[in-house]
Chain A
Amino acid sequence: MAGGLSVHDLTKTYPTTGGDLTVVSGVDFTVRPGEFFTMLGPSGCGKTTTLRMIAGLESVSGGSVRIDGKDATEIPARQRNIGMVFQSYALFPHLTIFENVAYGLRIRKLGNAEIRKAVSECLDLLALTPLAERLPGQLSGGQQQRVSIARALVYRPPVLLLDEPLANLDAKLRVQMRDEIRRVQRALGIMVLYVTHDQEEAMAISDRIAVFDRGRVAQIGAPDAVYDRPESLFVADFIGKANFLKVNMEAAGSQRLRLPAGETEVPERIVALPAHEHDALGGGNQGLLMVRPERLVPADRGPIRGSVDRIQNLGPLSRGFVVAEGVDAELIVDLPRSAPRQLKEGETCHFDFRVDDATLFRCAP
């Protein structure tokens, strides 16, 4: 596809003493021009390796990488015309900020005047102009990160790769910077491939998210799709918080589900578990009903009953941990603190939810 980026069946294996170790297996996705695409997953899931293969810093064991319609799999990294921002910023410690940013332009043999103009614009875009003559060692973490971005963007590459760029910053700065990055991306209309393990970050700024699980892509979709319509237990549990309730299905065709303290209807959204997650369920009759914490409300009547073990005040919301009858794990109940009905520690009550807000996972539809 013109101007886009895609990977097909991308695989990476390392030969080790005990046999081959596969860290990335059959990854497939396409990124559209101007899109902010995030690869999300826990540590060791292969997202960074995938990014490095796209960059050309890691060799490909199988599959291909296409950039701008051309097969880039065998092209050396420095010829791919990609911008990349590293987790450790990797600024050149012996060069000034100006020279750091200008580095890529000097390679492209631009004239001094042109370089000055392009670099100034870039520094301006990232609010770095007063720091142009300083050395990286004199800058704060956030400033270094912005220099790193400026350096990657200055030569207007079609793609920008970012490898967990905010991991080393403190919480408040992280939130600020992610918005910065999104702002810059929109302003330039550049295609971005972003890697992170922070799902809140991914949800906040991405157009689409690819959730990685142990070397494979579990699900690709827009943030609300991935959150509201997870296609596997892994995704459901990784993105946001999830409550899982074991349910037994009654005879085929039945519209009722039995829960410890009552019954509920079978929800509309039924998801067939991927093969490797079947172990989570006992037999063909078992299912897992997933309800998000913010969808559970305390009620006088409801299919769940439990006592509140403890409550955390999280600012805008109040999180209660409930020990429910017949349920193994704790349930999490989130209530806005402005809601009239609040939970109290030690209180026992029923909990209810709307059927449309639940998802049923089972082995086969």
Chain B
Amino acid sequence: MSAVVTRIAGRDPAALAVSAVAIVIALLFLVYPLVNGLLLAFLPNGAEIAWSNITLANFARFFTAGSYKRALYNSILTSGGATLLAAALGIPMAFAVARVNIACRSLVLALSVIPLIAPPFIGAYAWVMILGNNGIITQLMVEYLGIRPPPIYGAWGVTIALALSYLPYLFLMVQGTLAAGDPAIEEAACMTGASAWRIARTITLPLAMPAIAAGMLVVFIKSLGDFGVPSILGGEMQVLPTLIYYQINGFFNLNAGAAIAIVNVMLTLAGLGLLALVNRRGVSTLTGSSRGAVRSSGWRARLAANAFVWVVLVLALLPQLLVALYSFSLRWGETLLPSSYGLDNYRDVWAEALRTMGNSVVLSGLATIACVLFGAITAYATVRGRAVSKWAIDLTIMLPFVLPGLVVGVAYLGAFNSPPLLLTGTAAILVLAYFTRRVAFVFRSAATAIAQIDPKIEEASTICGASWGFTMRRVMVPLLAPGLLAAAILVFATLIGEISATVLLYSASWKPISIAIYERVLGNELARASALGTICNVATLLMILAGSRLAGRSMSDMFR
């Protein structure tokens, strides 16, 4: 069947033009800068690119240098731990939201996005202020319970902060699958006499495994690449991203940095391999059933679900709540809470907040549009076409997603600093960097969505006389639009807070709000940074809600 579609599309000039453009874009902005940058890994520091200089010395350090070995071990430990913790919290939470009639479902879903959109550093600082040696909760616990919580610094603090930061990815993905499941299967199990618990254990959970595994992979990848949390909460503990930062910005050794980045990628590939293993026996239960899965309404289930959901939400939002508190504080010495409050911080940053937020919206918006267009087209080609090597396309698109932002930033700087492709200093280079870092997300969503659409639909359109372009515009796009919307919104929202690549690529006339926050953090103006951070969170949240409303769906429909 798909061969027929390729035959139809293959002769259509519009299709050929579009694929040509897509290939050029892919080569130019995905392949070239990263290959250019990562090649450095095989050269000694500062050496010219030449065959005679190729060496594996940068990689050898993983066997000789203690700091390298420890960073590798710590990365696996904290990312793996964060993934498991996120699963332990996120899976029950997904069940609770998708399968129980909890209160304020839309609000829960909207709030759960906040940890993803919040710019990184502030959140990590907030953890120090909550659970640090002199943190709020620490002080409360010592005073009222007489016990001192273990120090937040080091592996356990990083693991917890990472888990809570990226848990929403897993939660939203699993929740969506559970909510869209075929209810008849569970009803059938119910009729044979199975209790709700048995159904969850033997039917729902196994069928949700692909989504769970995919969610865990995202958490793992994100944790591996996260720089903000370990740099602040890690204490002495180094992980690969901080090691990269150390090498690039400290030692100015791009080669060592590139080598570490490659090792980081290999860890990700290992994770992908595990995912493929789990998905071997994957079965899809998604139906066109608009009824969706049954939600239980028993009071016990509702009580447990509501309690669990709100506990996890509050935990995940604790840093941002503290940031909001801090944004109103005018003076906060050693006391438990600020000694004076006011709006001065907001007054001070308001003008800049508006300007930079506007920039962020435009930059992220353009990048999101690019992601959707390119991601959807490439997904279509991969799913429908006889694409020669699907894994090569997959890898090309995934690579910038899994690389730490710092590496992508440096690679872009290196690749586009000379003619004919002189893009440094423009807003375009930032949009492109954003695009490459997020296109994988849309690609995956689009691929899944396209795979679920019957190819016969396109054939029907073609038989009616429609050109490929017409079919795409009038048939495929409307069918895909809802599925892509959630991905697009997530991409947009997470780009607003992007910092690692931004700090190297942004230009003065297009300063995003994440930089404004970072600046304040660097200058130790934490209260003003908090004000900016809170403005950013609130504005992004409002945009997400507006976006889903404009598209005519409620939050819960969007993440189905």
Q: Which A residues lie at the B interface, using CB under 8 A?
A: 55, 57, 77-79, 81-84, 86-88, 90-94, 103-104, 107-108, 135, 137, 148, 151-152, 155
A236 CA / B100 CA spacing, docked (Å): 46
**B189: A residues at CB distance < 8 A:** 92, 103
Task: Check if A103 sits within 8 Å of B187, measured CB to CB.
Answer: no
B187-198 toward A: CB 8 Å interface, digit per residue (1/0)? 111111111001
A88 and B285 within 8 A (CB): no
Question: Given A86-B187, A103-B189, are A94 and B207 also a contact pair (CB < 8 Å)?
Answer: yes
Given A78-B191, A94-B281, 15 extra CB contacts under 8 A: A77-B190, A78-B190, A79-B193, A84-B187, A86-B184, A86-B187, A90-B182, A90-B185, A90-B188, A93-B285, A94-B206, A107-B192, A135-B283, A155-B192, A155-B193
By beta carbon, the residue of chain B nearest A154 is B192
B203 at the interface (CB under 8 A from A): yes
Query: B192 to A103, Cβ gap below 8 A?
Result: yes
Q: Can you give 28 contacting A-B residue pairs, CB < 8 Å?
A: A57-B190, A57-B191, A78-B190, A78-B191, A78-B192, A81-B193, A83-B191, A83-B192, A84-B187, A84-B191, A86-B184, A86-B187, A86-B188, A87-B184, A88-B182, A91-B188, A92-B189, A93-B185, A93-B284, A94-B206, A103-B202, A104-B192, A107-B194, A108-B193, A137-B283, A151-B188, A152-B191, A152-B192
- Measured CB to CB, the closest approach of chain B to A210, in angstroms, equals 21
Complex Cα spacing A148 to B202, Å? 18
Per DSSP, chain B at the interface is helix
Q: Give complex CA distance A81, B194 in Å.
A: 10
B192 contacts across to A, CB distance below 8 A = 78, 83, 103-104, 107, 151-152, 155
| Among candidates A86, A104, A148, residue contacting B193 with C-beta atoms closer than 8 Å | A104
Q: Is the CB of A78 within 8 A of B281?
A: no
User: Nearest 9 CB-CB pairs, A to B?
Assistant: A104-B192, A90-B184, A93-B283, A90-B188, A84-B191, A107-B193, A90-B185, A86-B184, A78-B190
From residue B96, how far is it (CB to closest CB) to chain A in Å? 21
Contacts of A135 in B (CB 8 A): 283
- Report the bound CA distance from A155 to B192 in whole Å: 8
Residues of B within 8 A of A87 (CB): 184
User: CB-CB < 8 A to A155: which residues of B?
Assistant: 192-193
Instruction: Report the minimum CB–CB distance from A123 to chain B (whole Å).
Output: 16
Residue of A whose beta carbon sits closest to that of B281? A94
Please tell me if the beta carbons of A78 and B182 are within 8 angstroms of each other in the complex. Answer: no
Please name the residue on chain B nearest to A93 by beta carbon. Answer: B283
The answer on a CB contact under 8 Å between B191 and A88 is no
Give A77's nearest chain B residue, CB to CB: B190
Residues of A within 8 A of B198 (CB): 107
Which B residues are in CB contact (< 8 Å) with A81?
A: 193
A93 touches B207 (CB 8 A): yes
Residues of chain B lying within 8 A (CB to CB) of residue A148: 188
**Complex Cα–Cα for A108 and B188 (A):** 16
Nearest A residue (CB) for B203 = A92
When the two chains form their complex, are residues B194 and A90 in contact, meaning their CB atoms are under 8 A apart? no
A172 to chain B, nearest CB (A): 23
Within the complex, what minimum Cβ distance (angstroms) separates B286 from chain A? 11
**Cα distance A148–B188 when bound, in Å?**
9
Determine the chain B residues whose CB is within 8 A of the CB of A152 once the complex forms.
191-192
Most A Cβ at <10 Å: residue of B191, B203, B207, B283: B191
Q: Write the nearest CB–CB distance from A111 to chain B, whole angstroms.
A: 17
User: A155: shortest Cβ distance to chain B, in Å?
Assistant: 7
Contact, CB under 8 Å: A55 / B191? yes
| Residue of chain A at shortest CB distance from B289 | A88
Neighbour of A82 across the interface among B185, B191, B203, CB < 8 A: B191
Tell me whether B193 and A84 are in contact (CB under 8 A).
Answer: no
Q: What does the 1/0 interface line of B172-190 toward A look like (CB < 8 Å)? A: 0000000000101101111
Pair B187/A57 contact, Cβ less than 8 Å: yes
Q: Is the CB of B190 within 8 A of A94?
A: no
The closest CB in chain B to the CB of A101 belongs to B192
Contacts of A84 in B (CB 8 A): 187-188, 191
Contacts of A94 in B (CB 8 A): 206-207, 281, 283
Restricting to B180-231, which residues have a CB under 8 Å from any CB of A?
Answer: 182, 184-185, 187-195, 198, 202-203, 206-207
A104, closest chain B residue (CB): B192
Task: Give Cα distance in the complex from A81 to B195, angstroms.
Answer: 12
Residues of B within 8 A of A90 (CB): 182, 184-185, 187-188
In the bound complex, CA of A299 to CA of B184 (Å): 55
CA distance A103 to B189 in the complex (A): 8
In the assembly, what is the distance between CA of A77 and CA of B193, in Å?
8
By a CB distance below 8 angstroms, the chain A residues around B184 are: 86-88, 90
**Which of A86, A90, A137 has the most chain B CB atoms inside 10 A of its CB?**
A90
Residue on B nearest A79 in the bound complex, by CB: B193
Rounded to whole angstroms, the CA-CA distance of A18 and B160 in the bound complex is 49
Set of chain B residues within 8 Å of A86, measured between Cβ atoms: 184, 187-188
Instruction: Give A77 to B281 CA distance when docked, in angstroms.
Output: 31
Expressed in whole angstroms, the Cα–Cα distance for A93 and B285 within the complex equals 8
- CA distance in complex: A108, B198 (Å): 12
The distance from the CB of B297 to the nearest CB of chain A, in whole angstroms, is: 10
Write out the residue numbers on chain A whose beta carbons fall within 8 Å of the beta carbon of B203: 92
B440 to chain A, nearest CB (A): 28
- Specify the chain B residue showing the minimal Cβ separation from A86: B184
CA distance A241 to B202 in the complex (A): 49
Inside 8 A of B283's CB, which chain A residues have their CB? 93-94, 135, 137
Give the docked Cα–Cα distance between A57 and B185 (Å). 13
In chain B between 147 and 188, which residues have their CB closer than 8 angstroms to a CB of chain A? 182, 184-185, 187-188
A13 CB, nearest partner CB in chain B, Å: 18
Docked CA distance A77–B199 (Å): 13
Q: Is the CB of B194 within 8 A of A78?
A: yes
Q: Smallest CB-CB separation from B199: which chain A residue? A: A78
C-alpha spacing A92/B192, complex, angstroms: 12
Query: In the docked arrangement, what's the CA distance between A139 and B271, Å?
Result: 33
Set of chain A residues within 8 Å of B185, measured between Cβ atoms: 90-93
Cα of A182 to Cα of B207 in the assembled complex, Å:
33
Q: How far is the CA of A86 from the CA of B289 in the complex (A)?
A: 14
| Residues of chain A contacted by B285 (CB below 8 angstroms) | 93
Q: How far is the CA of A340 from the CA of B285 in the complex (A)?
A: 57
Bound Cα distance A91, B287 (Å): 13
Instruction: State the CA gap A77–B184 with chains docked (Å).
Output: 13
Most chain-A CB neighbours within 10 Å: which of B182, B192, B193, B284? B192
A103 to B194, CA, bound (A): 9
Query: Is B207 a contact of A78 with CB atoms below 8 Å?
Result: no
From residue A236, how far is it (CB to closest CB) to chain B in Å?
35
Q: Which A residue's beta carbon lies closest to that of B297?
A: A59
Q: Which A residues lie within 8 Å of B202 (CB)?
A: 103
B207 to chain A, nearest CB (A): 6
How far is A75 from B285 in the complex, measured between Cα atoms in Å? 29
Query: B140: shortest Cβ distance to chain A, in Å?
Result: 45
| Chain B residues in 8 Å Cβ range of A151 | 188, 192
List A contacts of B190 (CB < 8 A).
Answer: 57, 77-78
| Chain B positions within 8 Å of A107 at CB level | 192-194, 198
Q: From B188, B190, B284, B285, name the one whose CB has the most chain A CB atoms within 10 angstroms.
A: B188
Chain A positions within 8 Å of B195 at CB level: 78
- Give the CA-CA distance A88 to B284 in the complex, in Å: 15
Q: How near does chain A come to B196, taking the closest CB pair, in angstroms?
A: 8
CA distance A135 to B207 in the complex (A): 14
Within the complex, the shortest CB–CB distance from B502 to chain A, in Å, comes to: 43
State in angstroms the CA–CA spacing of A77 and B194 once bound together: 9
A166 → chain B, closest Cβ, in Å? 16
Task: Name A105's closest neighbour in chain B (CB-CB).
Answer: B192
| Separation of A281 and B455 alpha carbons in the complex (Å) | 52
A93 vs B195: C-alpha distance when bound (angstroms): 19
